[in-house]
Structure 1
Amino acid sequence: MKKLLIISLFSLVIWANNCLECHKGIENIRDPHSGMAKAIAKKAEEAGFTDNSCIVCHGGNPKATTKEEAHNGTIAYFLEHEGPKEFYPDPGSAWINKNTCGMCHKKQVASQMNNLMNTEQGKIQGALWGFGWNIREHKYANYNLTNLHKRFGTTAYQNYMQQLTQKEPQVFVKKTIELPPAPTAEEVQKDPKLAAITYLRQECLRCHTASKGRSRRGDFRGMGCSSCHIPYSNDGFYEGGDPTIPKNEPGHLLTHQIQSSREAKVHIHGVTYSGIPVETCTTCHNRGKRIGVSYQGLMETAYNPTYDKHGNPQPKLHTKHYLHMSEDVHYKKGMLCQDCHTSIDVHGDGAIAGSTLGPVEIECQDCHGTVKRYPWELPLGYSEEFGRKLPNKPRGVTKTLAEYLKKGTYYDPKDGYLLSARGNPLPNVVKVGDEVIVHLASGKDLRLTPLKKLAKEHKLSQAGEVAMGQIGKHLEKMECYACHDTWAPQCYGCHVKVDYSKGKKHVDWLAVAHDHDIHGTDAAKRKTLKEHLIAGQVTETRSYLRWEDPILVQNGEGRIAPAIPGCQTTVTVIGKDGKAIVQNHIFTGTDNGKDVLAIDMAPVHSHTVQKEARSCESCHNNPKTMGYGIGGGKLVASPGDTLIIDLMTADGKVIPKKITIQKPGVDGLTFDWSRIIDENATQLVTVGHHWSLSRALNQKELDKLDRRGVCISCHKTMPDRDLAVSLMVHVAQAANVKIDNDMHKTILHKNLLLSAWVQIVGGILLVLGVLYWLVRRNKKS
């Protein structure tokens, strides 16, 4: 009996969850009754550890009695079977998650390295372009990669992507080349264009998902899968119950729980939520196009209002200060990024796609349709034609889902799942009669009335009926957000200084990510950043910021879209001796066969959608929207001029000998940063260097758009049954006559003259009539 008791106690020591001896109070990674928790428990049971599921994700030694022993190695079973091969502090790390998350989510993990959020090809190509490399092929990335496997998705999707790959091979490359090593100061002295590599490695490449990233307010996150699926607050403090995790040290997860779909509930401080908060996405999406912070209504500012109760100004978030603008209407309705963006949008499909239009498969019309057709009546490819003629066949709906989509939350299809523009089902968007139900990850269900039904029921605003119903070309040629993105962050003039003097050095974030170990940690996680310092130090500033009335251009899909400054890079490189190798220099690049300045105006969906669209005047009456520049480009003096402000004679001669230049000129720039075409519609700068169709508006489009001083002043709304206007338009079209401003002014002038003569003749006749009446009256009396 005594012997049996000893054996039983010994068994308890062996099989008890020793992890919880130290981590007592830590949160369950998922609800114990959830499918995921049960799958993890089953894997632990297969390994012979019924009461310890921690080891399934973290590995380690479950029999150890000290921290050092416990956080080392893994059990023998996992060395021979699926599971962790070492101790993993962050099981989601891209470097080891094939042994953890990949046990269940094989497709997502298999595609992660080729995902744009990891390769950062578009960002790299864009920076190299601004530094004069003149490379359109998106061949450089954070890592050497190849297309690992066949794309996943429906047959229709795969066929669609094959066509797109053939059309845009510079974006959909077959393999990538790791960005070259950081240059030395001596190498940059010989070729200042190499400073682009320093710029990228020190500034741009810290956000990719295989790295831990920067530890600054708003930037705290995990690695790999944990980048999105583990919650981190902006201030980076742990607020859970594990006594071993410091509560006053930034850089830790908020709580030891997975955030994912509607079924994954996170419980903390009496609050329960599901889905991935928008702020998790803005950890990275706060630079470049700034779509994450813009979606929240945050617009970067040079100032830092307002004051707190202690008199302190606004703290920095993502190292910036912000204005609070109007949030995107979808954000106001409680929609998270994942409610629109599909699994392929965020995880990738396994193939390399070098720029954001590449992996993103959704369009506004996928849910909203048009005033003429419901979403399921549209053909595949609608609104992202990329210059191709689309089939007339309606895309319809589907009631089937791929197995990888069933790994997340999916819903009763009702009449069928809606399809994306590229042919994949949207698992959270279903057709119910002539309406659409959007199931949000937060737990809310939105009932959406498509535009066609709104038009039938006359529930559109008058402006909406005119813009979408009566002017059909708007829907055929324009992105919805060309009108509904009512503001966009516009950072004009990106002045980059790379300084190699006085032995200046800074962190190489790409090298930090490459320095990963068997535990899945990188140099940032291990806090060994000083081992990866490279020559040079980057400083950035800008000329000015705007947010209203973004410029319109043609995007890579062949549709009219808003544009914001991409990288309007003006380069200054300081050599070892402290002297400028290049100063305020703008390189040139080839766009549509012509040499233009490589300061880019990037087509973008800024994610600032408002229900009430921008006004007709903001496009048809605004030279900035057309591309001529703010105020027609006449308000800002030439940036190329060097500015001296001091005592001067009336004819502009500087009087003192000892002076300080107020603002050095920008080499070769003779027009305002907001100007992308001249009065002859000649493109002056790059407009989207990723996709072949991106460009400024051409003369034909400008003739249709430019109504300064004409239509809008009289035709605030297009008359629905105005015979004169209809006759003028249709007769002109039949006669192949272009009604531009000059033609319209001629017609208007003649109409005014005719009207004047009619009034004169009418007045004479009226006077004669009155005299005749008076004469008749006198005779009768």
Structure 2
Amino acid sequence: MFYLFLAIFFSFSFVIAAENNCLKCHKGIENIRQPDSEMMKEIFHIAEKVGYPRNDCIVCHGGNPEATTKEEAHKGTIKPFIEGIKTEHGIIKGPQNFYPDPGSPWINKYTCGMCHKEQVMTQYTSLMFTEAGKIQGSLWGFGGIEGYQHKIGNYNVHTLNIHKVLGTETYKKYMQEIKKAEPQVYPISMKALPPAPTAEEVEKNPQLAVYTYLRQECLRCHTGVKGRQKRGDYRGMGCSSCHIPYSNEGFYEGSDPTIPKNERGHLLVHEIQGTREAKVKVHGITYSGIPVETCTTCHDRGKRIGVSYQGLMETAYKSPFLEDGSDQPKLHTKHYLHLHADIHLRKGMLCQDCPTSIDVHSDGILSGTTLAPVEVECQDCHGTPDKYPWELPLGYGDEVKGEVPAKGKPRGVADTLLEYLKQGTEYPKEDGYLLTARGNPFGNVVRKGNDVIVHTAGGKDLKLEPLKKLKEKGKLNDEAMVAMVHIKAHIDKMECYACHATWAPQCYGCHIKIDYSKGIKHPDWIAMGNDRTPDGLTADARGEYKKHLIDGNIVETRSYLRWENPPLAVNGEHRISPAIPGCQTTVTVIGKDGKPLLLNHIFKIPDVEGAGKEGQLAIDISPVQPHTIQKEARKCESCHTNPVAMGYGIEEGKLYADPSKPYIVELMTADGKVIPKIYKTQINSIPNLKYDWSRFVSEKGQQLQTVGHHYSGSRPLNNEERAKLDRRGICLSCHQTMPDKDLAVSLMVHVKEYAGIKIDREKHNSILRKLVLLGAWVQILGVVAGAFLLIGGIILYKRRKSKK
């Protein structure tokens, strides 16, 4: 009888283990991956190893697979996960509790980390977690509180031991050299952001309001929390931030009956997005890769590279109206214009197709700005007109530590990938995997003959002809030949996107008001990230926003927006680059009594060279890769005859009235006296600012605001560079008089009248080109003639001397 009871018990236990109890409630839920995928096979294998072959849900979510109620099922985990599972990679531990979001960075070492150890290990040094660049940038705008140092992050974190850092040995050595060149950008550790100040503390020191600004407004995007739950901003946390799809509207559109379909804030479907092999199916549509809109969930502020890549440019206007006559809806809390999207997107490339895994997940080295971890340069795929990508030396285009000569040892290609990269889609190597500027192989870019094949996560295989091949085949037009071949300094000294990024979002004048007067409180994103339960959920993910409210109400606005012809500056790689305001912080702080503690205040950066002296205004122009690349580059005139490009400002700043003086609009006498006694100032003064926001260097070379505050190499163009750039008035050396007609017509009439030649624009340009070449040859011949005269003079002198 006893043995019969045991047999029945074990049989019953097997039936329970053989069933997926989760599906009794979640019947119809989507497979997280296709059943025949390698990832799903590994999940099944782990489930079988722990004795629940049909209950694969517990491998990621934990919980009690034998429970019959929701409350019991969503509690705890099984013993093998707690004690550890023996695998070929050693003992690994699974979920230690029930995890609603297995991607949470606070617990994902027990979920995603079972298979993806490297990415989970380095996640805490990623900028998406620390947000160190944002923090240093905000502290800079409030008076350079930490100077050039990047030692503050969202949480306490340390860089990994060099032996644990990801990448090839060549890459690791290269990064050590870069760290020596710019140590302030690559700190060994970061300390957690100071706590939010109280209204009373701000009364004593208004500068402390920066920590309210950071905690309430700037730091909502980091992967340690779910972030702001508004249209366009819905996402998961940790790995789920990118690898679980959320629509802009935030509704669940799958088949799980337990997830409400009329409530915002849910994933789109219960599936993983990532590599080409990870197919996601929604409403009969199958896609792979991470959609661009997933990235713009966070990348819609700061440099705005996500929305810019899509061709979206912020606007203050709500038009055009929708089908029902309503306003354009807000996306990421903004309205947009639609400009030309980046050519890479129009070719079918997702955001993830350029950066490497290290660029996104981190290599284990702490970095303080977006330029610091990115190892990819345009030349890595496109090469130069003289060299294929594999003929360029390592470091070309990434000259953080100084100029890299193009004649250095060729970098070649790689025969194999790093092991952790093989967990994704492994493409045929053809003639070798291309290498990044820092020495790691691309997982998705290969050489095939003298072509480059880019395999996109979205399923496209794009053939790219490098610049050298285009030149050899005569496919470069005259403008391209002049810009890249005849004027080689453009290639050696400038970023490719200095010409090919034809527009960039320029938010001039960032006006921040932090008001402590009305008792209004808002959530503290870092405090919510620090308040986490054993299931990996932070306070915001649990909906407990009210637990972490802090004093202060923040309002942001700007002076004006532009997008065309961004100015030029020198970036941290010592190359000429487009630049945008980032940020031109003007601070207003309202105290508890409603009176301003600071009003339209621009801080100054302490002068490091002088004791107690003030240096530049703490408004900044920031070098940037705008991610708005077009095949047709900017016109030469957009830089060479444009004061904006030189840093002199829009129309040299002559249109903008002195902002340091208030402006009153009222009934006035002829000599400017206000007639009514009751009136208001229309535009108040900004005391420290005496010129247009777009003007950051004077014609004599005086720097008017900071230009980059991360890398030591960032600066405005110097006097010599601006002199070479400035070609205004050259046409007037010949064309001092022009007929008073349309320019195109007058050109033909003018030349026919004075030279007897019928000419069109193309012929005019041809003549100009010939004149330039003729001028060059005259200079060369002049040098040669001079040399002959010098040699002849020396010979004649020696002959006369010998006769004497």
Structure 1-normalised TM-score?
Answer: 0.92
What's the counterpart of residue 351 of structure 2? 337
Contact 1:591 1:686 in 2 (8 A): no
Provide the secondary structure at the position in 2 that maps to 1:292: helix
For the structure 1 residues 576 and 402, does the alpha-carbon distance in structure 2 shift closer, same or farther, using more than 3 Å as the test?
same
Residue 420 of structure 2 corresponds to residue 404 of structure 1: yes
Deviation at 1:11, TM superposition (A): 3.1
Contact 2:570 2:576 in 1 (8 A): yes
Deviation at 1:724, TM superposition (A): 2.8
Deviation at 1:528, TM superposition (A): 0.4
Which of 506, 517, 540 does residue 490 from structure 1 map onto? 506
Q: What is the alpha-carbon distance in structure 2 between the residues aligned to residue 712 and residue 196 of structure 1?
A: 51
What's the counterpart of residue 613 of structure 1? 633
Q: Which amino acid aligns with 2:309?
A: Y
- For 1:573-652, list aligned pairs within 5 A: 573-589=589-605, 595-652=615-672
What's the counterpart of residue 746 of structure 1? none
Q: What is the alpha-carbon distance in structure 1 between the residues aligned to residue 211 and residue 312 of structure 2?
A: 30
Q: Which amino acid aligns with 1:65?
A: T
What's the counterpart of residue 533 of structure 2? 517
Deviation at 1:155, TM superposition (A): 1.2
Contact 2:17 2:51 in 1 (8 A): no
Tell me how many residue pairs correspond in the alignment.
Answer: 736
Which of 638, 652, 674 does residue 654 from structure 1 map onto? 674
What's the counterpart of residue 283 of structure 2? 269
Q: What is the alpha-carbon distance in structure 2 between the residues aligned to residue 732 and residue 633 of structure 1?
A: 41
Contact 2:508 2:559 in 1 (8 A): yes
What's the counterpart of residue 414 of structure 1? 430
For the structure 1 residues 79 and 209, does the alpha-carbon distance in structure 2 shift closer, same or farther, using more than 3 Å as the test?
same
For the structure 1 residues 591 and 292, does the alpha-carbon distance in structure 2 shift closer, same or farther, using more than 3 Å as the test?
farther
Residue 711 of structure 2 corresponds to residue 691 of structure 1: yes
What's the counterpart of residue 53 of structure 1? 56
Which of 363, 368, 390 does residue 382 from structure 2 map onto? 368
Q: What is the alpha-carbon distance in structure 1 between the residues aligned to residue 34 and residue 131 of structure 2?
A: 35
Deviation at 1:716, TM superposition (A): 5.2
What's the counterpart of residue 109 of structure 1? 120
Which of 708, 711, 726 does residue 776 from structure 2 map onto? 726
Deviation at 1:210, TM superposition (A): 1.1
Residue 109 of structure 2 corresponds to residue 98 of structure 1: yes
Which of 29, 32, 36 does residue 35 from structure 2 map onto? 32
Deviation at 1:8, TM superposition (A): 3.7
What's the counterpart of residue 230 of structure 2? 216
Q: What is the alpha-carbon distance in structure 2 between the residues aligned to residue 42 and residue 318 of structure 1?
A: 41
Provide the secondary structure at the position in 1 that maps to 2:769: coil
What residue ranges of structure 1 are gaps of 5+ in the alignment?
737-781
Contact 1:493 1:673 in 2 (8 A): yes
Q: What is the alpha-carbon distance in structure 2 between the residues aligned to residue 351 and residue 7 of structure 1?
A: 51
Residue 139 of structure 2 corresponds to residue 128 of structure 1: yes
For the structure 1 residues 552 and 735, does the alpha-carbon distance in structure 2 shift closer, same or farther, using more than 3 Å as the test?
farther
Q: What is the alpha-carbon distance in structure 2 between the residues aligned to residue 92 and residue 720 of structure 1?
A: 63
- For 1:148-167, list aligned pairs within 5 A: 148-150=160-162, 151-167=165-181
Deviation at 1:520, TM superposition (A): 0.6
For the structure 1 residues 397 and 293, does the alpha-carbon distance in structure 2 shift closer, same or farther, using more than 3 Å as the test?
same
Provide the secondary structure at the position in 1 that maps to 2:299: coil
For the structure 1 residues 723 and 31, does the alpha-carbon distance in structure 2 shift closer, same or farther, using more than 3 Å as the test?
closer
What's the counterpart of residue 393 of structure 2? 379
Which of 309, 316, 319 does residue 305 from structure 1 map onto? 319
Q: Which amino acid aligns with 1:295?
A: Y
Which of 146, 149, 153 does residue 158 from structure 2 map onto? 146
Contact 1:489 1:546 in 2 (8 A): yes
Deviations 1:186-229 (A, max 9, x none): 11111111000000000000100111111100000001000000
Provide the secondary structure at the position in 2 that maps to 1:429: strand
Q: Which amino acid aligns with 1:474?
A: H
Provide the secondary structure at the position in 1 that maps to 2:518: helix
Deviations 1:685-710 (A, max 9, x none): 01000000000011000110000111
Q: What is the alpha-carbon distance in structure 2 between the residues aligned to residue 296 and residue 217 of structure 1?
A: 17
Q: What is the alpha-carbon distance in structure 1 between the residues aligned to residue 236 and residue 783 of structure 2?
A: 59
What's the counterpart of residue 695 of structure 2? 675
- For 1:767-778, list aligned pairs within 5 A: none
Q: Which amino acid aligns with 1:343?
A: S
Q: What is the alpha-carbon distance in structure 2 between the residues aligned to residue 201 and residue 58 of structure 1?
A: 30
For the structure 1 residues 663 and 436, does the alpha-carbon distance in structure 2 shift closer, same or farther, using more than 3 Å as the test?
same
What's the counterpart of residue 258 of structure 2? 244
Provide the secondary structure at the position in 1 that maps to 2:336: strand
Q: Which amino acid aligns with 1:33?
A: D
Q: What is the alpha-carbon distance in structure 1 between the residues aligned to residue 778 and residue 345 of structure 2?
A: 43
Deviations 1:108-132 (A, max 9, x none): 0000011011100000000000011
Q: Which amino acid aligns with 2:635?
A: S
Deviations 1:688-744 (A, max 9, x none): 0000000001100011000011169989577379553213555899999xxxxxxxx
What's the counterpart of residue 462 of structure 1? 478
Q: What is the alpha-carbon distance in structure 2 between the residues aligned to residue 684 and residue 697 of structure 1?
A: 12
Deviations 1:74-109 (A, max 9, x none): 011111011000000000000000000001110100
What's the counterpart of residue 320 of structure 1? 334
Deviations 1:5-59 (A, max 9, x none): 7864553134311000000000000011110001111111111111111000000
Q: Which amino acid aligns with 2:140?
A: W
For the structure 1 residues 225 and 648, does the alpha-carbon distance in structure 2 shift closer, same or farther, using more than 3 Å as the test?
same
Deviations 1:249-281 (A, max 9, x none): 000000000001001100110000000000000
Deviation at 1:502, TM superposition (A): 2.1
Residue 531 of structure 2 corresponds to residue 531 of structure 1: no
Residue 489 of structure 2 corresponds to residue 473 of structure 1: yes
Provide the secondary structure at the position in 2 that maps to 1:438: strand
Which of 439, 443, 468 does residue 455 from structure 2 map onto? 439
Which of 502, 507, 518 does residue 502 from structure 1 map onto? 518
Q: What is the alpha-carbon distance in structure 1 between the residues aligned to residue 82 and residue 200 of structure 2?
A: 48
Residue 34 of structure 2 corresponds to residue 22 of structure 1: no
For the structure 1 residues 112 and 723, does the alpha-carbon distance in structure 2 shift closer, same or farther, using more than 3 Å as the test?
closer
Contact 2:668 2:675 in 1 (8 A): yes
Q: What is the alpha-carbon distance in structure 1 between the residues aligned to residue 733 and residue 352 of structure 2?
A: 43
Structure 2-normalised TM-score?
Answer: 0.89
Deviations 1:261-317 (A, max 9, x none): 001100110000000000000000000000000000000000111212211111110
Which of 9, 12, 16 does residue 15 from structure 2 map onto? 12
Provide the secondary structure at the position in 2 that maps to 1:567: strand
Deviations 1:506-545 (A, max 9, x none): 1111111111111010111110001110011111000000
For the structure 1 residues 136 and 729, does the alpha-carbon distance in structure 2 shift closer, same or farther, using more than 3 Å as the test?
farther
Could you list the runs of 4 or more consecutive aligned residues of structure 1 that deviate by over 4 angstroms after TM superposition? 1-7, 590-594, 711-718, 720-723, 728-736
Deviation at 1:387, TM superposition (A): 4.6
Provide the secondary structure at the position in 2 that maps to 1:193: helix
Deviations 1:728-765 (A, max 9, x none): 555899999xxxxxxxxxxxxxxxxxxxxxxxxxxxxx
Residue 67 of structure 2 corresponds to residue 64 of structure 1: yes
Deviation at 1:412, TM superposition (A): 1.0
Contact 1:616 1:712 in 2 (8 A): no
For the structure 1 residues 42 and 470, does the alpha-carbon distance in structure 2 shift closer, same or farther, using more than 3 Å as the test?
same
For the structure 1 residues 72 and 5, does the alpha-carbon distance in structure 2 shift closer, same or farther, using more than 3 Å as the test?
closer
